[in-house]
Amino acid sequence: MSRDERDDNIFKALASPIRRRICDVLKDDPHTTGALCARFEDFDRCTVMQHLKVLEKADLIIVHRRGRERWNHLNPLPIKAIHDRFIGPHAADAVARLGRLKEELER
């Protein structure tokens, strides 16, 4: 899979509010699929499972099976890669521009 395809999968996965909420829940601790389904009671189990599948395809979650339980862990590395490629450079440029503007205004 190319870098562009991986990035597309990540952006598509994060485009959904429920998938972002699932990532937020998994940020601190892994959860079983059952616990996630209980937490998102507005959605049926199949819907939550479909969202988890999209997150897994984008490599945003890592799944470990322990017996009958499916544990979902957030994988922060793809998010960091997106940050490093798209956000970091733009933020650094914006900060540099603000610094130059400040210097010009102080003169």
> pLDDT digit string (tens) for 29-73?
999 999 999 999 999 999 999 999 999 999 999 999 999 999 999
Nearest alpha-carbon partner for 40 in 68, 20, 21: 21
Confidence of residue 24 (pLDDT cuts 50, 70, 90): very high
Report the predicted TM-score, pTM, of the whole model to 2 decimal places: 0.81
Q: Are 52 and 40 in contact (CB under 8 A)?
A: no
What pLDDT is attached to residue 19? 97
C-alpha angle 85/88/89, rounded to 5°?
80
The burial class, CB within 10 Å (0-12 / 13-18 / 19+), for 35 is middle
What pLDDT is attached to residue 96? 82
For the chain, what are the domain ranges? Answer: 3-75
- For the packed helices 45-57 and 3-14, what is the interaxial angle rounded to 10 degrees? 150
CATH architecture for segment(s) 3-75: Orthogonal Bundle (1.10)
Measured distance CA(36)–CA(54) in Å, rounded: 15
Number of residues that make up the chain: 107
